[in-house]
């Protein structure tokens, strides 16, 4: 098990994928009008693809443009000071092939807006993940 300079466990690609499959909410960082923007999304996993149902707008246009983005999801237990974070870098694409759409539809994704969503996929090219899962040392136990 490898750790970074802050003592966080560095996750393997397989560990990152497993954690991605356990989450439903995340964020996509992309470029809009030459400026960075981070947008919350709901998502699901099919094979190695991350799948989003997006309403017309910034994310749909980014997929049409095949923009390279960074996706992130995480979990934290603030009481125990444990957490994990997984980031994925890849290219967005609007799903148009029926072989890609059929499994994505079975994920039962819902856009946060009221209109029906466009299915967008993100094929990961790079995973990065960190985890802290130790019991904290409490101040009272240090003092005596």
- Residue 32: inside a domain: yes
Q: Provide the domain limits for residue 21.
A: 9-133
- Residue 106: inside a domain: yes
CA dihedral 96, 102, 105, 107 (to 10 degrees): -120
- Residue 21: inside a domain: yes
Q: Which two tokens stand for residue 78?
A: 């603030």
Which residue is it, tokens 């709901």?
A: 42
CATH number assigned to the domain comprising residue 120:
2.30.110.10
The rounded distance, in Å, linking the Cα atoms of 138 and 118 is 48
Beta-carbon contacts of residue 81 (< 8 Å; ≥ 6 apart): 132, 136
Question: How confident is the prediction along the chain (144 residues), in pLDDT tens digits per residue?
Answer: 899 988 899 999 999 999 999 999 999 999 999 999 999 999 989 888 899 988 889 999 999 999 999 999 999 998 888 999 999 999 999 988 877 776 766 666 655 655 567 889 999 999 999 999 876 555 554 554
- Residue 56: inside a domain: yes
pTM: 0.84
Q: How many domains does the chain have?
A: 1
- Residue 140: inside a domain: no
């Amino acid at each position: 098990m490898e750790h970074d300079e802050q003592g966080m466990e560095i996750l393997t690609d397989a560990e990152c994928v497993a954690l991605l499959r356990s989450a439903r909410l995340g964020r996509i960082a992309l470029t809009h009008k030459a400026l960075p923007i981070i947008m919350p999304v709901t998502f699901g996993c099919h094979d190695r693809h991350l799948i989003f149902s997006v309403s017309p707008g910034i994310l749909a246009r980014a997929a049409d443009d095949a923009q390279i983005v960074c996706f992130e999801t995480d979990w934290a237990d603030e009481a125990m000071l444990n957490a994990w974070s997984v980031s994925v870098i890849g290219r967005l694409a609007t799903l148009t092939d029926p072989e890609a759409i059929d499994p994505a539809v079975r994920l039962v994704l819902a856009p946060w807006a009221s209109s029906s969503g466009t299915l967008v996929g993100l094929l990961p090219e790079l995973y990065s993940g960190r985890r802290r899962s130790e019991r904290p040392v409490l101040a009272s136990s240090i003092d005596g």
